Amino acid sequence: MAATIVDGKAIATQVEDQVRRQIAAWRDAGHPSPGLHVVLCGDDPASATYVAGKARASERVGIRSEVHRPPADSSTEELLALVGRLGGDDEVDAILVQVPLPPQIDSGRVLDAVAPEKDVDGFHPVNFGLLAEGRPRIAPCTPLGCMEILRHHEVPVRGARAVVVGRSTIVGRPMALLLTNADATVTVCHSRTADLAGVCREADILVAATGKVDMIDGSFVKPGAAVIDVGNTRVGGRVRGDVDRESVEPIAGLLTPVPGGVGPMTIAMLMSNAVALAAARRGLAVTGAA
Ligand code: NDP
């Protein structure tokens, strides 16, 4: 039997609906909407598109979003000053620094300067450390989206064998931590893993986050496995994933397509994270999954 194909857009819409209801409930009780502030520095067209998408999503759910556009020739010190000012502004609940930053900027210093309690991307070392300790405050949006897909489709995670291919700080590592925290038995693979296909074939849950188009084919997949394809690589005007759908679909139990699988979840989870940060800072109750 062919795999169930995940409709990431539909799940993302449900998450956004939940976020919108939460914000409306807060507003009805006299609380302000969460404030999300984005720092967009430089002329990277892909970054501009992502930021526009985040602004549109904020508008849909009722988040007050503001984009700060320091000039492309800004210095590290200038960005540190901006990020520091946002950190100290009580109106600001969530801060996102869009990467990549221009080459003259020390990105690490700028990202580390984001106030951890306003770090909506969950990239700050304090938040990463809390996630690693199993007491997360906030987690990166793309792996959170993958967890939400598994939850939505009622894929058993506790006790399952999970394999994550990729160990980046944005996707692979936090994905492995989220699965570990949810009681899966997790193996992290990378470019030096021996017998990658053999390791992947042990997985009940297989997450591919390499950026290598079609590298996961049917020979990597255990029959019935849930296969989550995070890959998002532009090839000749098309977005392609890491998973070779043609050979995997007849074997897997669940499969996220590219596009339309994990991609739409990332922005939805960003909205959800902004709500979670606002709730924590302002001592507000969160109802449901938002
Ligand atoms: P990175 O390039 O930072 O990391 C890629 C990882 O894949 C590395 O750990 C690398 O191993 C591993 N890898 C590369 N080649 C192989 C191979 N042949 N076999 C096994 N492992 C391999 O990428 P990101 O984690 O940032 O992103 C991964 C993919 O996810 C990209 O396609 C990206 O566009 C996509 N993405 C999608 C998002 C979405 O919203 N849908 C959001 C973020 C990312 P090593 O560490 O040894 O080099």
> Cα dihedral angle (197, 7, 151, 199), rounded to 10 degrees?
0
CA of 269 to the centre of ligand 1 (A): 20
Among protein residues, the one with the nearest Cα to ligand 1's atom 41 is 263
Mean pLDDT of 115-122: 98
Mean pLDDT of 145-170: 98
Instruction: Note if 18 is an active site residue.
Output: no
Share of the chain above pLDDT 90, in %: 97
CA of 183 to the centre of ligand 1 (A): 24
CA distance linking residue 253 with residue 98, whole number of Å: 35
CA distance linking residue 208 with residue 189, whole number of Å: 9
Mean pLDDT of 76-83: 98
25-29, 34-38, 172-176, 281-285, range with the lowest pLDDT: 281-285
Residue type (1 letter), 94: A
Domains of the chain by start residue, with CATH:
31-121 (3.40.50.10860), 141-264 (3.40.50.720)
Beta carbons of 284 and 165 less than 8 angstroms apart: no
Nearest CA among 272, 160, 247, 148 for reference residue 206: 160
Beta carbons of 12 and 268 less than 8 angstroms apart: yes
Catalytic one of 54, 222, 229, 242 = 54
Nearest atom, ligand 1, residue 211 CA: 32
Nearest atom, ligand 1, residue 190 CA: 21
Instruction: Note if 121 is an active site residue.
Output: yes
CA distance linking residue 186 with residue 135, whole number of Å: 18
Nearest CA among 234, 254, 203 for reference residue 8: 254
Nearest CA among 43, 26, 62 for reference residue 271: 62
Mean pLDDT of 139-157: 98
The model's pLDDT over 235-251, given as tens digits with 9 standing for 90+, comes to: 999 999 999 999 999 99
Position 288 scores a pLDDT of 60
User: Residues in the chain, how many?
Assistant: 290
Beta carbons of 74 and 41 less than 8 angstroms apart: yes
Catalytic one of 98, 229, 242, 244 = 98
Residue type (1 letter), 36: L
Nearest atom, ligand 1, residue 172 CA: 25
CA of 283 to the centre of ligand 1 (A): 36
Report whether pLDDT(286) > 90: no
Position 5 scores a pLDDT of 98
* C-beta atoms surrounding 283 within 10 Å: 6
Position 289 scores a pLDDT of 44
Report whether pLDDT(67) > 50: yes
113-122, 147-156, 281-290, range with the lowest pLDDT: 281-290
Report whether pLDDT(68) > 90: yes
pLDDT bin (cut points 50, 70, 90) of residue 290 is very low
**Residues in contact with ligand 1 (CB, 6 Å cut-off):** 142, 165-168, 170-172, 189-193, 196, 209-212, 215, 230-233, 262-263, 266
Is the overall model pTM greater than 0.75, yes or no? yes
Q: Which residues contact 147 (CB under 8 A, 6 or more apart)?
A: 157, 178, 179, 182
SS (H, E, C) 186-238: EEEECCCCCCHHHHHCCCCEEEECCCCCCCECHHHCCCCCEEEECCCEEECCE
Nearest atom, ligand 1, residue 262 CA: 41
Percentage helix, strand, coil for the chain under 3-state DSSP, each rounded to 5: 40, 15, 40
Task: Give the mutation target among 148, 187, 232 for probing the ligand 1 site: most ligand atoms within 8 A of CB.
Answer: 232
The residues with which 185 forms a beta bridge, in sequence order, are: 161
* C-beta atoms surrounding 224 within 10 Å: 12
Position 285 scores a pLDDT of 87
CA of 224 to the centre of ligand 1 (A): 24
pLDDT bin (cut points 50, 70, 90) of residue 75 is very high
CA of 258 to the centre of ligand 1 (A): 15
Specify the pairing of strand 205-208 against strand 233-235.
unpaired
